[in-house]
Amino acid sequence: MRQKAAIITGGARGIGFGIASALGAQGYAVALFDLDKAALEKAADALREKDVVCHTYQVNVTRRVEVDEAVTAVERDFDGLEVLVNNAGITRDKRLVNMEENDWDEVLEVNLKSQYLCCRAAVPGMIERRYAKHSHNTTLM
């Protein structure tokens, strides 16, 4: 029987790593998405020490092509996907009047657009495998 698989964006450290650890402890195989290759390797080593099946994917979650390719790789590597955790996020600690437009754009790209791109790439396969779920106020189809 295959393990259920989960993608965690921003999974190499902090809250994302904590989520990956918790899912791994529950028997999930985990796919860590992050930009930082060294942090990905360190996180994967720590998870594997706990017998968690873990693959890493260096991906910029604000770039559609990279997200599509990474989700396709996860589905291939784990023979499917059950969970997507959109955890990646950034801040730019500046007052609005001091924030440059490119800072604002970057925050929106990472914190909002990445969720759209990851869901857009992952949800169709979940629906196909009849694993997609929705809440009362969110529709996946």
Kindly report the average pLDDT of the chain as a whole number.
92
Domains in the chain, CATH or no CATH each: 5-128 (3.40.50.720)
CA-based nearest residue to 68, from 119, 137, 103: 119
CA distance 61 to 118: 7
Tens of pLDDT, residue by residue over 5-55, are 999 999 999 999 999 999 999 999 999 999 999 999 999 999 999 999 999
Q: What percent of the chain has pLDDT over 70?
A: 93
Q: What's the rounded Cα separation, in Å, for the pair 56 and 71?
A: 11
What pTM was computed for the model? 0.90
Q: Of 8, 35, 3, which is closest to residue 20 (Cα–Cα)?
A: 8
pLDDT of residue 54: 98
